[in-house]
Amino acid sequence: MSYKGFTFRFFLNSFQGGADGYLSANHLDGYNGTKGNATNSNSFNFAQYWSPANPSAQYSNPWVGTPVPGARRFFQRNFTRLQDVSLAYTLDNSLLKKLNAQTVKVFVSGKNLWTNTDWQGWDPETGQGVSSFQPFPVMKSYAVGLKVSF
């Protein structure tokens, strides 16, 4: 969309439907009897595990060791993400002549600025959680720039 030298662009990315296993929800105490990144760096409510007394708990029964395939929890990965946004201004011809330039454009942009989801991990698009195997969330990034052509 352009208006009087301004150009605004955005890209919304959305995924609706489907579920994925959130490995960190299955055993927050680590792999093979070790304490992992899941509990070392994060706060969890360990009272939210399934038991006969708590059948509507958020997580399956806690355990240490090799995962049991049937115990894997699946969560909805629905999300809408504002993936790219940019705003640019191009100087008009009268100012360009004074500057002896062909083009002068100033812009700001951002990536991954907003995500709407119920996914408990860091990234519903990739299914990333907080385990040692997937340790990093999707990063937000910002850019400011100037393009000048003579």
Boundaries of every domain in the chain? 1-18+76-150, 23-72
β-strand partners of 77:
none
Write down the pLDDT at residue 115. 92
Residue 108 pLDDT > 90 = yes
Question: For residues 28 and 114, which has the higher predicted lDDT (pLDDT)?
Answer: 114
Write down the pLDDT at residue 41. 47
Write down the pLDDT at residue 3. 94
Q: Measure the CA angle with vertex 19, ends 18 and 25; round to 5°.
A: 170
Write down the pLDDT at residue 144. 98
- In this prediction the pTM is 0.62
Residue 136 pLDDT > 80 = no
> Following CA atoms 88, 94, 95, 97 in sequence, which dihedral angle do they give, to the nearest 10 degrees?
120
Confidence of residue 111 (pLDDT cuts 50, 70, 90): very high
Write down the pLDDT at residue 116. 93
Write down the pLDDT at residue 96. 87
